[in-house]
Amino acid sequence: MPSPRTATYRGAVLEALFGEMRRDNSVILMGEDIGSAGGVFKQTEGLFAEFGAERVIDTPISESGAFGIAVGAAMTGQRPVFEVMFGDFITLIMDQMVNQAAKISYMSAGQFNVPLVLRTAVGIGGNLGPQHSQSLHAWPVHIPGLKVVMPSTPADAKGLMAAAIRDDGPVIFFEDRMLYNLRDAVPDGDHIVPIGSAEIKRTGRDVTLIAIGRMVHTALAVAELLAKQDISAEVIDPRSLVPLDVDALVASVKKTSRAVVVDGGYRQYGVTGEIAATVTEHAFDWLDAPVLRFGAADVPIPFSKSLEPLVLPDAEQLARDAAALVRGLR
Amino acid sequence: MTTNTLDRRTSLSIFERMLMIRHFEEAVIELYKQGRFVSHYHIYIGQEATGGAVLEALGETDLICTTHRNHGHIIGRGCDPNRAMAEILGRASGFNGGRSGTLHISDPSHGFLSTSAVVGGCAGLATGAAFGLKVKRVSQVAVGFFGDGSLEEGLVIESFNIAALWKLPVVYVCENNSAGAMGPQQGGYPTAITATDGFTRLPAAYGIHCVKVDGTDIGAVHAAAIEAVGRCRSGNGPVFIEAFTTRWPGSSPLWPELATVTDLEAAFDPARIVGPHADWSRNHDPLLRAARELVASGHASRDELLARDKDARSRIAAAADFAIKSPMPAPATVGDHVFA
């Protein structure tokens, strides 16, 4: 059997961008240092050479103004992919995102749309300190009108980016910069992953691990640890936070009767709480234990190598707690 | 007294827009007093010459974004007053099905993209629309209307920089209506909230072509707008127009009130102007001024203007009637259009 075609997570997103820009002239890229510089994480490398300055557009360091302009351009026929260099900086564009992009369709009774993708890189672990390491995906998910996706694999990164660009509304696309060099199978050519569909990454019967973005890989490691204790864990990746594939999550939990939610964003008021509550509402009678949730510690992400790992969910601790859950000790 | 060198057709067309705006606004206040709708709302009275003349200068396919003081731009653009009033009353037949109310009216059939009720928000959208036009290599322009308060927002300044850098076909119309000014003023600028004594200095710092104009002078505003639109269409980049008006006495910072009720005959008979706000009516009301100028220039007779006034009143009365009789949105539609 031939080995499958592979690409890195970074390269997979690029494949989607190349594909969609070749397919549709209205797709344009906007952001800081994305043009001839190719992006600070090389995440736009090669696009400028092929599509030029008219479609790969460097903006000033004016996230709010430039994003407002992207929204206006989207309302008048363009399909901007707007990049915010660090996920922490979405704070600078929240007004344009929340009060304009998310509401234009509703406020105009569907007469105007905002077909726009906001892509940004998040993720703890780069020794980047408190203002460059946060995963703030819990901010846009609170706002009706925004779709929010967070791929965990190269294939999903490609397929979800293509789907996001083709979507007629605003899609917030969170990439984990710590996954950029992850290499895995990626379908060649056109590849679409529908927004709003979860994927079961590993089947199991004793406990469901619902994991977001990079935490999917942590959850798979936890499942391995649990397997050594004869505990069969199912790992499910929602892939999209809005819309959330509630049916898939609930079906899994009804099968296993236990759930653990794992995320790389802050735990307090985070997406783990929403997912735990949703699962509980829909599968209360099937649950044998309270839903557990793990997120980043509720502290600013520290810089030091000795401190930063402490704020992320730890696979061994997760495995211990999940095992206790299954054995009825929690 | 006048710089009005407009021809008869143009003058009357602007005057017509102004009449419709004025009576629309008076009807809005009346409907509010009657309890026909509940909301916070903003009145355009006193600025009709600016909106009327700028909108006269635009082409049919040009694009417009505006701010919360939007009724004048909607009506002045020629959007259906029935549907505009219905929207303000939250009715199903409103432009946006009752989802936007007064604060967010849009009408794609007239290139009316958006009303942003976040101060300055329209600057980003108008600049973006201009960017979209430039990418498409068409000769349309985008216009963003906003008040003087918008110059306090960072987004607006960022938009200026990008519009200038990319030479975008956008006309910024800053309507300096002194409405936010509750404190001491110097040269038309509220000293308590802005350190500049000239808003045009801000866009000018980015090389944006700036024009200051008397916002109650239809000839001056129209000339400035024609020049601005022409510059944009020729690829010369953005233009900033600052139009000065004197705050209408009814523009209470909290709730508008009908401080003056338009009596067009007062344009020709100063003795009819009485009461506490006589100075505003006599010296600052753009509608009365335009009427005087039209007659003085020989473009129209007094009776012709009065007949037009009557006609505008009846069209606005019909709009109010349409809105009142329109059904409220169906409850089942509350979740429609959240996603595209």
Chain A, window 149-178: residues with a beta carbon less than 8 angstroms from a chain B beta carbon: 167-169
In chain B, domain spans: 8-323
Tell me the nearest-neighbour CA distance from A147 into chain B, angstroms: 8
Find how far residue A32's CA is from the centre of its chain. 21
Which DSSP string corresponds to A212-255? -TTHHHHHHHHHHHHHTTT--EEEEE--EEES--HHHHHHHHHH
Tell me the nearest-neighbour CA distance from B159 into chain A, angstroms: 5
Cβ of residue A25 closer than 8 Å to a chain B Cβ: no
For position A203, what pLDDT does the model report?
98
Please confirm, yes or no, whether A63 is among the known catalytic residues: yes
3-class SS of residue B206: coil
Nearest CB neighbour to A106, from listed B99, B118, B121: B99
Please confirm, yes or no, whether A32 is among the known catalytic residues: no
Cβ of residue A92 closer than 8 Å to a chain B Cβ: no
Cross-chain Cβ contact B131/A108 below 8 Å: no
CB pairs under 8 A between A and B: 148
Which residue in chain A has the smallest CA separation from B156?
Answer: A65
Nearest CB neighbour to B133, from listed A59, A76, A147: A76
The answer to whether A326 and A258 have CB atoms below 8 angstroms apart is yes
Cross-chain Cβ contact A67/B337 below 8 Å: no
For position B247, what pLDDT does the model report?
87
| Chain B residues inside the 8 Å CB shell of A110 | 336-337, 340
* Residue of A71, A89, A106, A146 to mutate, interface with B, max B Cβ within 10 Å: A106
Cross-chain Cβ contact A147/B339 below 8 Å: yes
**In B, what residues contact A, Cβ < 8 A?**
63, 65, 95-97, 99-100, 104, 106-108, 113-114, 116, 118, 121, 123-133, 135-136, 142, 154-155, 157-159, 161-162, 165, 336-340
For position B189, what pLDDT does the model report?
72
Cross-chain Cβ contact A68/B124 below 8 Å: yes
Level-2 CATH architecture, domain B8-323:
3-Layer(aba) Sandwich (3.40)
For position B1, what pLDDT does the model report?
46
Instruction: Determine the residue type at A178.
Output: M
Nearest CB neighbour to A169, from listed B123, B161, B339: B339
What span, in angstroms and rounded, lies between the C-alpha atoms of A141 and A71? 18
What span, in angstroms and rounded, lies between the C-alpha atoms of A216 and A222? 10
Set A63, A175, A234, A274: catalytic member:
A63
Q: What are the backbone angles phi and psi of residue A155, rounded to the nearest 5°? A: -65, -45
In the numeric block, which tokens belong to residue A137?
């995906």
What span, in angstroms and rounded, lies between the C-alpha atoms of B108 and B114? 9
In the numeric block, which tokens belong to residue B320?
């109010």
For position B259, what pLDDT does the model report?
87
What span, in angstroms and rounded, lies between the C-alpha atoms of A251 and A286? 10
- pTM for the model stands at 0.94
3-class SS of residue A64: helix
Which residue in chain B has the smallest CA separation from A166?
Answer: B340
The answer to whether B125 and B55 have CB atoms below 8 angstroms apart is no
Cβ of residue A110 closer than 8 Å to a chain B Cβ: yes
3-class SS of residue B248: coil
Which residue in chain A has the smallest CA separation from B335?
Answer: A106
pLDDT tens per residue across all 340 residues of chain B = 445 689 999 999 999 999 999 999 999 999 999 999 988 899 999 999 999 999 999 999 999 999 999 999 999 999 999 999 999 999 999 999 999 999 999 999 999 999 988 999 999 999 999 999 999 999 999 999 999 989 999 999 999 999 999 999 999 999 998 756 555 566 667 766 788 888 999 999 999 999 999 999 999 999 999 999 999 999 999 999 999 998 898 887 678 888 888 999 999 999 999 999 999 999 999 999 999 999 999 999 999 999 999 999 999 999 999 999 999 999 999 999 999 9
Set A132, A137, A191, A217: catalytic member:
A132
| Chain A residues inside the 8 Å CB shell of B87 | none
Tell me the nearest-neighbour CA distance from B339 into chain A, angstroms: 5
Cross-chain Cβ contact B340/A106 below 8 Å: no
pLDDT under 50: residue ranges of chain A: none
Nearest to A137 by CA among A303, A236, A272: A272
Nearest CB neighbour to B96, from listed A77, A78, A108: A108
What span, in angstroms and rounded, lies between the C-alpha atoms of B61 and B68? 22
Domains of chain A: 6-185 (3.40.50.970), 199-326 (3.40.50.920)
Query: Do the strands B185-186 and B189-190 form a parallel or antiparallel pair, or are they unpaired?
Result: antiparallel
| Chain A residues inside the 8 Å CB shell of B125 | 68, 71-72, 75, 100
Q: State ipTM.
A: 0.91
In the numeric block, which tokens belong to residue A238?
């929602």
Look up residue B228 and give its DSSP letter: H
User: How many other C-beta atoms are found inside a 10 Å radius of the C-beta of residue A4?
Assistant: 11
Nearest CB neighbour to A109, from listed B96, B133, B155: B96
| Chain A residues inside the 8 Å CB shell of B99 | 106-109
Handedness of CA A220, A132, A184, A194 (dihedral sign): positive
